[in-house]
Chain A
């Protein structure tokens, strides 16, 4: 009997614990990197990966997905954005998802490449405003570009970055730079 009582108590405690856990927390385990302040779902992460790749696709040079640019973007929003901007980013992400759903009846990840490009083309034309969806798009683009322009390929192959230049040259022909 005592054993049975203990077993029931334990079961109740597990239920109680489960009830206390917000549902997002369970899903969150599946997001690829640990995030401290912002909460997103795995499908948000997938959408972000597809959006980043649409912004900066793989060509003969690495694309956003090769660089995990979307994870870099999430990391930066989580660690380096102010709380109001984190809120705005998440709000904008939701708006973007609804916007795509309303317009196409599908999620962004469910669209063809051409359809994705058409969505991004519309957003990319717009000038900065207070709009949260635009803030989300522009922030994602900025961070995707940052991931690319600070990656090893871009810095060494395109910009000629050398960590140890050896000497400083004050005036060289542009052609040889």
Chain B
């Protein structure tokens, strides 16, 4: 018995964080810095900054298939093969379909990164703040539930995380996309600047700006203290950056947490469920299955942060069943797993521009220009709800034609004909969370760790279809007026999920009857459990969500530790 007790003692911490990615890394950093002995559970392997980036310094000609993924791997893994970043240089950071199956009642592309750092190694690093046009959206337009917070509640926390992460941007002074704590922006191209000025002159409420991104364009002391350096514009970020030029948990929050001496990182730890104690009326720990040995181990803590990434957070909560919570932890309302949403990335447009033919760009810029949402912002204008933002990029990517053979061919390939400027945009549409878009547990099938497989019942609706059409129409008009030619639009019809912006299922809200979490990301019905990843999102906005997860996490950690000190949790 003595041994058993010792074992329990050794497996007891002040806090447990489930997940080590975008938001889990922040929870680890914040809780460790505040002095809490923190166990960070990661289901995948460790990926140590610099050491575990095997492709980071490889030259293009050193890749056996020049970046392409072999047919055999693509055939066996159709879902992940649809992801733009699943290429020879980064495939080691993606989950293969065959390794972790799931059930698609309706098609859903679930893109995953099971390792320390999660998808923060792989993200597109776009960091636009959300505004009150987003936080007030559900209340104004009557969907989902009212956000329990407003911009003023989170604004200081945006600043807090931006300063540490390092965000490059311009002060644009737009209420639809509030300014932040910015490092200098990178340059826009001549065509992007032309389009920016053209749109400003010709549209009252539309803007083209530099897309804010998590890159150290000019590192401050805090970034140097993290051991990170200036972004070198390699634009090979998905391999892991040898300079720490962009924000990844691996280069930033995880090593920072480790340095406090308060973090214990346990890779290969598949979380089965959160343990609820009915007598105490709170969660006491986390049940883990060691991914190699399959050994089941319980770990204990006073508070638990769930940051497994939106979908797996839903899975863990749904699988955390007890007499008190027969339908999943905190799920008195029955809405856990429902109101699951994502971003509509179906619309694309491309064109050419024949101006500035004597100019081009140099270097690999890791961001683009950005068109903030302009539809239905101040009032409802269209027959669909909400709106979309769009990227805007330009460059001269022309490659000489491989005409002829022999010496002719070689001469042709040596020509420096960059062709006209090519421009393009992709849409980032807000989707409406609905009860009918949901995740659930399979009642029969389990994975090899004894965790039920997740079932996806998520699809687009008419609102999304109308929005794709409007994107094509509006962007075509803007492009045409600006003198772009050879305009082509495309609806990729891609399945939900490929946007990799999954959100919802454990909504924040004011009322326990219609939401799972309160305004502090704390479970209404289980006060020592916090959810601060994509699962908490009440609505989806048009802006990339990661920055908001970071800010919500830091804010929730601050609240949780304050309440712990007051012995309230």
Shortest C-beta distance, A157 to chain B (Å), equals 10
A169 contacts across to B, CB distance below 8 A: 187, 361-363
B232 contacts across to A, CB distance below 8 A: 164-166
B203 contacts across to A, CB distance below 8 A: none
Q: A15: CB under 8 A from chain B?
A: no
Tell me the B167-199 residues at the A interface (CB within 8 Å).
186-190, 192-193
- Check if B65 sits within 8 Å of A79, measured CB to CB: yes
Bound-complex Cα distance A150 to B399 (A): 12
Q: A101: CB under 8 A from chain B?
A: no
Query: Which stretch of A16-24, A51-59, A90-98 is in the interface?
Result: A51-59
Q: B68: CB under 8 A from chain A?
A: yes
* Partner of A171 from B64, B356, B413 at Cβ < 8 Å: B356
Closest to B408 in A: A124
Proximity string of chain A (71-92) to chain B, C-beta cutoff 8 Å, 1 when within and 0 when not: 0000110011110000000000
Bound-complex Cα distance A97 to B61 (A): 30
* Partner of B65 from A54, A59, A80 at Cβ < 8 Å: A80
B406 contacts across to A, CB distance below 8 A: 54-57, 117, 120
Shortest C-beta distance, B301 to chain A (Å), equals 43
Bound-complex Cα distance A152 to B361 (A): 22
Shortest C-beta distance, B403 to chain A (Å), equals 9
- Check if B402 sits within 8 Å of A171, measured CB to CB: no
A155 contacts across to B, CB distance below 8 A: 60-61
- Check if B190 sits within 8 Å of A167, measured CB to CB: no
Proximity string of chain B (26-68) to chain A, C-beta cutoff 8 Å, 1 when within and 0 when not: 0000000000000000000000000000000101110011101
- Check if B233 sits within 8 Å of A168, measured CB to CB: yes
* Partner of A168 from B66, B186, B405 at Cβ < 8 Å: B186
Bound-complex Cα distance A127 to B64 (A): 30
A9 contacts across to B, CB distance below 8 A: none
Contacts A80-B70, A121-B405, A170-B187 given; indicate if A56 touches B362 (C-beta within 8 A).
no
A163 contacts across to B, CB distance below 8 A: 57, 59, 234, 236
Q: B287: CB under 8 A from chain A?
A: no
- Check if A165 sits within 8 Å of B234, measured CB to CB: yes
Q: A173: CB under 8 A from chain B?
A: yes
- Check if B71 sits within 8 Å of A81, measured CB to CB: yes
Query: Which stretch of A41-49, A104-112, A128-136, A138-146 is in the interface?
Result: A138-146
- Check if A170 sits within 8 Å of B409, measured CB to CB: no
- Check if B414 sits within 8 Å of A170, measured CB to CB: no
The listed residue with most B CB atoms (<10 A of its CB), out of A79, A121, A141, A175, is A79
- Check if A141 sits within 8 Å of B360, measured CB to CB: no
Bound-complex Cα distance A141 to B406 (A): 11
Proximity string of chain B (507-527) to chain A, C-beta cutoff 8 Å, 1 when within and 0 when not: 000000000000000000000
Bound-complex Cα distance A175 to B360 (A): 9
How many pairs, one residue from A and one from B, have CB atoms within 8 Å of each other in the complex? 122
- Check if B402 sits within 8 Å of A141, measured CB to CB: yes
Shortest C-beta distance, A115 to chain B (Å), equals 13
Q: A149: CB under 8 A from chain B?
A: yes
Shortest C-beta distance, B330 to chain A (Å), equals 46
- Check if A79 sits within 8 Å of B233, measured CB to CB: no
Q: B358: CB under 8 A from chain A?
A: yes
Q: B2: CB under 8 A from chain A?
A: no
Contacts A150-B60, A155-B60, A166-B233 given; indicate if A57 touches B363 (C-beta within 8 A).
no
A158 contacts across to B, CB distance below 8 A: 413-414
Bound-complex Cα distance A117 to B404 (A): 11
Bound-complex Cα distance A46 to B193 (A): 53
Proximity string of chain B (261-287) to chain A, C-beta cutoff 8 Å, 1 when within and 0 when not: 000000000000000000000000000
B236 contacts across to A, CB distance below 8 A: 163
- Check if B413 sits within 8 Å of A149, measured CB to CB: yes
Bound-complex Cα distance A66 to B60 (A): 18
- Check if B358 sits within 8 Å of A174, measured CB to CB: yes
The listed residue with most A CB atoms (<10 A of its CB), out of B72, B362, B399, is B362
- Check if B364 sits within 8 Å of A165, measured CB to CB: yes
The listed residue with most A CB atoms (<10 A of its CB), out of B233, B356, B357, is B233
Closest to A75 in B: B64
Shortest C-beta distance, A3 to chain B (Å), equals 48
Contacts A161-B60, A170-B189 given; indicate if A61 touches B410 (C-beta within 8 A).
yes
- Check if B59 sits within 8 Å of A152, measured CB to CB: yes
Shortest C-beta distance, B56 to chain A (Å), equals 10
Q: A177: CB under 8 A from chain B?
A: yes
Closest to A148 in B: B413
A117 contacts across to B, CB distance below 8 A: 405-406
Q: B359: CB under 8 A from chain A?
A: yes
- Check if B70 sits within 8 Å of A168, measured CB to CB: no
Bound-complex Cα distance A54 to B408 (A): 11
B364 contacts across to A, CB distance below 8 A: 165, 168
5 A–B contacts from the bound complex (CB under 8 Å) = A145-B402, A149-B399, A168-B362, A169-B361, A171-B187
A residues at B contact (CB < 8 Å)? 54-57, 59, 61, 75-76, 79-82, 117, 120-121, 124, 141-142, 145-146, 148-152, 154-155, 158, 161, 163-175, 177
B residues at A contact (CB < 8 Å)? 57, 59-61, 64-66, 68-72, 186-190, 192-193, 232-234, 236, 356-365, 399, 402, 404-407, 409-410, 413-414, 416, 418
Given A149-B413, A165-B364, A174-B360; 8 other pairs, CB 8 A cutoff: A57-B406, A124-B405, A155-B61, A165-B363, A169-B361, A171-B361, A173-B359, A175-B358
Top 6 closest pairs, chain A to chain B, by CB: A170-B187, A168-B363, A165-B363, A171-B190, A168-B365, A79-B70
